[in-house]
Structure 1
Amino acid sequence: MSTLKPPLDRDDHLRGASSAPIQLVEFGDYECPYCGQAHRTIAALRAALGDRLGFAFRHFPLVGAHPHAELAAEAAEAAGAQGKFWDMHDLLYGDQRALSLPHLERHARALGLDMQRFADDLRSHRHLGKIRADVHSGAISGVGGTPTFFINGRRHDGAHDFDSLLAALTLDPTERLQAHG
């Protein structure tokens, strides 16, 4: 079984506490329809598990199949530089057909970002290094497609639906029942 390389650190985008007992990392692509489905599943898991779950997202744009994925990742990072990574992340997954530059600019305006800074970041590819580091992390961790999940540092090779991920995240069967019901 593959392990996450490198492990989570302060450069990762994390929802929840780094001290949460369950750490879930997704390698994702904003244009991937399966990642869009996973986004909704992750939201349900976060609601079910609360502060027991820390969720991190690493970029893995499949540029050969998804021509807008890398620019969308750059937009998420540019928003992150202004403290709005998760807001942009949610908007991108909210409408995966709206990932061209005019749509990304509309999202940035809706989030109240400094538009000059956002445009400069995209034009200069300021955050492309971070995205490439995430892709490299995925490659050395055994990621071959998206979404790919790691639970507490170990790759999850099972299904990505709510029940399957919840079962993999929680070891105690009674905890699974309480979270689901």
Structure 2
Amino acid sequence: MAHLKTAVSKGDHTLGNPKAAKVLVEYGDYQCPHCGLAFPFINRLLDNYGDEILFVFRNFPLQESHPAAMMAALAAEAAGLQGKFWEMHDMIFEHQASLSADTLLHLAEKLQLDMQKFSQDWRSQELMSRVEGDFEGGLRSGVNGTPTFFLNGARYDHYNETYESLEQMMRD
């Protein structure tokens, strides 16, 4: 069984209870249809398990299959520098079928981001390095597709695109 090689840290994007006994890490791709299917399941898991879970999202853009994935990851990170990572994350998944530079700029405007700062950050080497760091950490952890989930450091290989399979992971 594969294990998470990069420990969860303050630099990660997290939702939920930082002291939770269950830490769920997703390596995801914003243009991946399977990640799009998992998105509402993760939100439901967070609603149902509340303080029992900490969720971490890490970027794993599969650029050969999903040409807009890197651009979307960089947009989420750029929004994160203005305190709106999760809002952009959610909006990107909600508009997954129409991802483009124009769509991402429209979403940033909708979030009332400082557009000059967003445009600069979106193209910055700093954010590119962050996304590449997530990707490399995923590779070291045995990630070879998206979404890939790790619960408390151990890869969970029984996700079958149902909410019930994620809920089973929480009960195991």
TM-score tier, shorter chain, comes to over 0.9
CA RMSD of aligned residues (A): 1.0
Larger radius of gyration: 1
1:25, 1:108 → 2: CA distance?
A: 25
The answer to which of 150-159 and 96-105 deviates more is: 96-105
2:120, 2:24 → 1: CA distance?
A: 32
TM-score normalized by the length of structure 2:
0.96
Match of 1:74 in 2: 74
Match of 2:26 in 1: 26
The answer to which of 10-19 and 76-85 deviates more is: 10-19
TM-score normalized by the length of structure 1:
0.92
> SS of 2:6's equivalent?
coil
Match of 1:170 in 2: 171
**1:125 CA displacement:** 4.1
Match of 1:138 in 2: 138
**1:152 CA displacement:** 0.7
Match of 2:129 in 1: 129
Amino acid at match of 2:18: S
Identity of aligned residues (%): 46
**1:123 CA displacement:** 2.9
2:124, 2:12 → 1: CA distance?
A: 22
Amino acid at match of 1:168: M
2:38, 2:75 → 1: CA distance?
A: 20
Match of 2:46 in 1: 46
2:90, 2:145 → 1: CA distance?
A: 21
Matched, 1:98 2:102: no
Q: Deviation string for 1:42-66 (max 9, x for gaps)?
A: 0111111111111000000000000
CA contact (8 A) 1:31 1:69 kept: yes
Q: Deviation string for 1:85-120 (max 9, x for gaps)?
A: 000000000010232111111100111100000011
CA contact (8 A) 1:28 1:146 kept: yes
CA contact (8 A) 1:76 1:85 kept: yes
> SS of 1:26's equivalent?
strand
Q: Deviation string for 1:107-157 (max 9, x for gaps)?
A: 001111000000111233440111000001100000000000000110001
CA contact (8 A) 1:74 1:125 kept: no
Could you list the runs of 5+ residues in structure 2 that have no partner in the other structure?
none
